Amino acid sequence: MCGIVGYIGNREATPILLSGLKRLEYRGYDSAGLALLEDLQAAISSNGHSTQLLSAHQLVIEKCKGKVTDLEELSARNPHLSTIGIGHTRWATHGAPSDVNAHPHTDQSGKIAIIHNGIIENYSQIKKHLISRGHIFQTETDTEVLAHLIGEFFEQSHNLTEAVRLSLNEVVGAYGIAVISSENPDEIVVARKGSPLVIGVGNDNDYFVASDAAAIIAHTRQVIYLSDNEMATITRSGIKTRTISNVEITKTIEHIEMELEAIEKGGFDHFMLKEIYEQPRTITDAMRGRVVEEEGNVVLGGLENHLRELRRVNRILITACGTSFHAGLIGKYMIEQYARIPVDIEYASEFRYRNPIVGDDDVMFAISQSGETADTLAALREGKRKGALGLGIVNVVGSTIARESDGGVYIHAGPEIGVASTKAFTSQLTVFALITIMLGRMRHLSVVDGRAMIRELLALPDKVQQTIENTEQQVKQIAEIFKDATNFLYLGRGYNYPAALEGALKLKEISYIHAEGYPAAEMKHGPIALIDENMPVVFVAPHDDVYEKILSNIQEVRARKGHVIAIATEGDEQITELAEQVIFIPETIPMLTPILSVVPLQLLAYYMATARGCNVDQPRNLAKSVTVE
């Protein structure tokens, strides 16, 4: 999720753009930049020199890796007089964070600049075509490809709106874009598909553009929200809106009531809840451009150079911490079931110090949302030092673990602000499912089975959405009942044993209630002594091949007066006779059930924490990324 701002009017653009970008810095980003159309006439008259002007306006780009404050210093060193410009904070998806990969990007002519939020899936095909037409690229980004494509169409019509529109009809993917050109100095062209874009209507013939109203609410509360496949041409005299199919449309101006803080959280009370709700989209983004349904297979660009090792591998190692470890444990179960490759998983902090046995043919996956966790980084280094191929499953592009891996798969979950990891976890599981299909199809998994798994994967985002909508209110009520509990047990079997571990971690890290995850069958080996009328026990018990077994575990708990809260498959009537509370989730294949069963567990932790007045987004004693040992 990148930050986009734009301005056109009668005031100086730079301070408006910089203050807007600062409003978006909560999103997390790695670089920032501005593109301005410098009014040379005004510039020259202001410093008194007269000269023959080649063009009344020149396109100026200031951009750098780092924070908005770094960009601010850069702009102060190179002031430009301009009343039209666009600005961007980047959360890298293609191309590591760097000055050159920062937005804005320009076309071949250097006269058109674009900023972009989203992912262009077919950028490599478009890039190949443009290279064949003589285009030279400076960066690894998908956005620069879009800039060159717009430039290519602009050469034909010299109409910026038409050039943008024709380009967008060529791309596959998600975008929120703003485009300016030194040849069209009085307009900003914007468009959106899958990434938010809002146009602010000022009081003095000035207009604002943003990916998030937080960036412009200081200037106006009158806004137009573009919908998918819509675009607008913004000039000082007004806004023209149309679809990218060139159908003119009329948009209503809305008034923003929300306060700034609420807007930054997308209207949610906390980032954690916002990120729980983002999961249908982030799971989609984790799969975007990566499934080849007719072949029952997947394409993972970051592993392309290692297919030979992955075909021959006899043992896979997985290492991680916390929630990422739980994702890795489910990944182990997936890979062993469908690719029949032995998988050893270990906490990174243990692996790094115990002089582990690693073979030259081993492949190690290091799982990390932040890509900066010290123990995981050290374990990756140890595994590589001893001969393993080190692959990362990481969220933050260009992070240390991503850079030190030999390859890997980005999960594309966007910035995760809440300390308690939610959307990153389900995206990690989605990526593990993709890796499992790839490894399985290299071995015994048939195209038919691969297609079936992909169909189930593609159906997941809607099922997650359905789960959120159908369970949130019920979970809120359950939280009210149990908010004063001092201990919880979370039990599961098979794929849902790690889901139980994750549910317990969520609860303890944000509500400060002691909670323990356990394999359900392990209860009788000791923990069952804990069960009494004060012990709530969450069973993750969807329909799968160990369902009957977990029913008997539920009976064992009930016999000792434990309070049973069950996560069960929709339509399961048997469990309703046993559990006090039953939270239903849609049916899916066993390996994907944790992606659904974890959602009510995330919501339960969230509502228990809010009921107890805890600081959900910044729980005590915790950091979002543990970069120390």
CB of 484 to ligand AGP, least distance (A): 23
- Residue 425 host element (H or E): helix 423-441
Instruction: Tell whether residue 610 is a contact of ligand AGP (CB under 6 A).
Output: no
415-474: which residues touch ligand AGP (CB under 6 A)? Answer: 419-421
CB of 278 to ligand AGP, least distance (A): 15
- Cα 296 to Cα 439, 440, 618, distances in angstroms: 12, 10, 42
Instruction: Tell whether residue 588 is a contact of ligand AGP (CB under 6 A).
Output: no
User: Cβ(98)–Cβ(74) under 8 Å?
Assistant: no
- Of these residues, 2, 127, 265, 332, which one is catalytic? 2
Cis peptide before 356 (omega within 30 of 0): no
Applying CB under 6 A, among 167, 284, 373, 610 the residue interacting with ligand AGP is: 373
- Of these residues, 67, 240, 251, 624, which one is catalytic? 624
Instruction: Tell whether residue 275 is a contact of ligand AGP (CB under 6 A).
Output: no
Provide the mask over 483-522, with x wherever binding to ligand AGP is found by CB under 6 A and - wherever it is not: --------------------------x-------------
Instruction: Tell whether residue 376 is a contact of ligand AGP (CB under 6 A).
Output: yes
Nearest residue (CB) to ligand AGP, 148 versus 412: 412
Instruction: Tell whether residue 618 is a contact of ligand AGP (CB under 6 A).
Output: no
Provide the mask over 318-357, with x wherever binding to ligand AGP is found by CB under 6 A and - wherever it is not: ---xxxx---------------------------------
Nearest residue (CB) to ligand AGP, 240 versus 508: 508
Instruction: Tell whether residue 625 is a contact of ligand AGP (CB under 6 A).
Output: yes
406-425: which residues touch ligand AGP (CB under 6 A)? Answer: 419-421
Q: Give the distance between the most distant pair of CA atoms in the chain.
A: 93
Beta strands in 91-193 (DSSP E): 105-106, 112-120, 173-181, 184-193
Applying CB under 6 A, among 369, 511, 569, 602 the residue interacting with ligand AGP is: 369
Residue 333 tokens read as 């179960």
| Interface stretch with ligand AGP, choices 50-58, 121-129, 368-376, 577-585 (CB under 6 A) | 368-376
Distance, in Å, from the CA atom of 409 to the CA atom of 392, rounded to the nearest integer, reads: 6
Q: Collapsing DSSP states into helix, strand and coil, what is residue 617?
A: coil
Distance, in Å, from the CA atom of 111 to the CA atom of 57, rounded to the nearest integer, reads: 10
| Interface stretch with ligand AGP, choices 51-59, 362-370, 385-393, 595-603 (CB under 6 A) | 362-370
2 catalytic per annotation: yes
Alpha helical stretches, state H, 133-227: 142-157, 160-168
Instruction: Tell whether residue 106 is a contact of ligand AGP (CB under 6 A).
Output: no
Cβ burial 475-490 (10 Å sphere, 16+ → b, else e): bbebbeebbebeebbb
CA atoms within 13 A on the CB side of 126: 24
Strands of 389-394's sheet in order across: 343-347, 316-320, 363-368, 389-394, 407-410
Nearest residue (CB) to ligand AGP, 29 versus 547: 29
Span between the terminal Cα atoms of the chain, in Å: 30
Beta strand 563-569 pairing with 536-540? parallel
Q: What are the beta bridge partners of residue 584?
A: 568
624 catalytic per annotation: yes
Query: How many residues bind to ligand AGP according to rule CB under 6 A?
Result: 15
Distance, in Å, from the CA atom of 466 to the CA atom of 279, rounded to the nearest integer, reads: 11
Instruction: Tell whether residue 481 is a contact of ligand AGP (CB under 6 A).
Output: no
| Interface stretch with ligand AGP, choices 165-173, 194-202, 367-375, 473-481 (CB under 6 A) | 367-375
- As annotated, the active-site residues are 2, 624
Using CB under 6 A, list all residues that contact ligand AGP. 321-324, 368-370, 373, 376, 419-421, 509, 625-626
